[in-house]
Amino acid sequence: MPMVPLLLYGVAALFMVKLLLKPVQAGVAVGASKDESANLTLSGFCFTSMSLLVGFFKEELKTLGPQQIILFFGVALGSFVASNMALRFRTRQLSIFAAQAFQDNGLWCILLGLRGFLRSAAASSGLPKMFDLLLILFCPFILRNLFLWKKYLEAIP
């Protein structure tokens, strides 16, 4: 379940291969630098979260709950680092598309990790249901983003 956004982007990329091989426009390349900084910030958040979880749950790590939460934050960390690496080599639209895919996957995994943490820590508070709703709402946003990507790529000469 931590790879749902990457699967959606992968399927969409199969239908847009020719469009994704177009060169990057100058304005887009400049704007991608802001995404690089955001990815590094989110990577730091994931690394800090993992460190705190490992520190707090030393004994509980033998059970499945905290291990799964740490897995989600670990995948998110890897996704943000991969997104940052993809943005460094922005010669084709594919690199920016891949960076967006990894960034959305990282956000998806953070939501999954927080939902798992709240299910174990505050199951009766209703907060886990809020994160379920956020995950459900995140899917249409990803699909809309893919639709906008296709329109954007088709508009590039």
22 class by beta-carbon count within 10 Å (0-12 exposed, 13-18 middle, 19+ buried): middle
30 within domain boundaries = yes
> Is the pLDDT reported for residue 30 higher than 70?
no
> Is the pLDDT reported for residue 140 higher than 70?
yes
pTM flag (> 0.75): yes
31 within domain boundaries = yes
60 within domain boundaries = yes
Q: Give helix 4-15 / helix 93-121 axis angle, nearest 10°.
A: 160
CA distance 112 to 131: 8
| pLDDT of the residue at 142 | 87
- The whole domain housing 139 covers 4-15+26-155
100 within domain boundaries = yes
Give 10's Cβ-side CA count (13 Å radius): 7
| pLDDT of the residue at 61 | 63
CA distance 18 to 130: 39
Q: What CATH number did the domain enclosing 89 receive?
A: 1.20.120
DSSP letter, residue 22:
S
| pLDDT of the residue at 39 | 64
- Work out how many domains the chain is built from and give that number: 1
Residue that wins the pLDDT comparison between 42 and 86: 86
Decide: 128 and 117 in contact? Cβ < 8 Å: no
Instruction: Tell me the CA distances in angstroms from 87 to 7, 56, 69, 84, 127, one per residue in order.
Output: 19, 34, 27, 5, 34
20 within domain boundaries = no
Mind listing the pLDDT tens digit for each residue in 67-124?
Answer: 777 788 788 888 888 888 887 777 788 888 888 899 889 888 888 888 887 777 776 7
